[in-house]
Amino acid sequence: MAPRKFDLIAFDWDGTLIDSTALIATSLQEAARDLGLAVPTREEASHVIGLGLIQAFMWLWPDLEEGRHPALLERYRYHFLGRDREITLFPGVREMLGVLRAQGYLLTVATGKARQGLIRALEQAELTGFFDATRCADETASKPHPMMLLELIEEFGVEPDRVLMVGDTTHDLQMARNAGTAAVAVSCGAHPISELQREPSLAILDEVGALPRWLACHG
């Protein structure tokens, strides 16, 4: 058997492990309607998934006064938290994580969510305590800045070329490139394959559950 290439796997959360893209996009649209802002298209709202919320607001509404961000955040959370219990893990995710953990990989999360949002999501998915470490956008720099991955690299003392980022957006792939790590994309989330293909990655998988099979051949 060929030697393993990676020691640490960093997963994005929304759109990668959990099927939340539609609800996030809809919640952004509804928040805009509530405040009389220009309502983004589904494509525009999906594009910002993976960024921290403030960064997402700045991309969608670049002329919006900063003082209106708190109201927009409140309306987004109102719509999202009212339905987030409907969100489920993608099929096979729990089994996939179990396989990788048994194989000795360090499993981490690098997400655009805020810490409280990730805590809630992990509880609802019954994955609290499952990951070796997590990073959130309100505690470090938002993607595509490499800080999330660089902090994980430092925490575990691994080399960048031993880290694999797995995500569903170009933000994830750009973060990996900026941190000097490898990346695998999944096409089940926020960004279409046509966008994912514009950024460097080792593969674009149909679903994250296929990762152990890919690693067995390539990682």
pLDDT beyond 70 at 1: no
Secondary structure E strands in 32-181: 106-111, 133-136, 163-167
Q: Token pair of 157, please?
A: 């003392």
Q: How do residues 58-67 score in pLDDT, each as one tens digit?
A: 999 999 999 9
Average pLDDT over residues 60-81: 96
Mean pLDDT of the chain: 96
**What's the pTM value of the predicted model, to 2 decimals?**
0.95
Confidence of residue 219 (pLDDT cuts 50, 70, 90): low
Kindly list the catalytic residues: 12, 14
Question: Percent of the chain at pLDDT above 90?
Answer: 97
User: pLDDT band at 146, cuts 50/70/90?
Assistant: very high
- Computed from CA positions of residues 128, 183, 24, 20, in that sequence, does the dihedral angle turn out positive or negative? negative
* Residue 44 vs residues 29, 59, 141, 211: alpha-carbon distances, Å: 10, 9, 22, 28
What's the pLDDT at 2? 59
Pick from 181, 135, 125: nearest CA to 8: 181
Domains of the chain (ranges; CATH) run: 8-19+89-218 (3.40.50.1000), 21-85 (1.10.150.240)
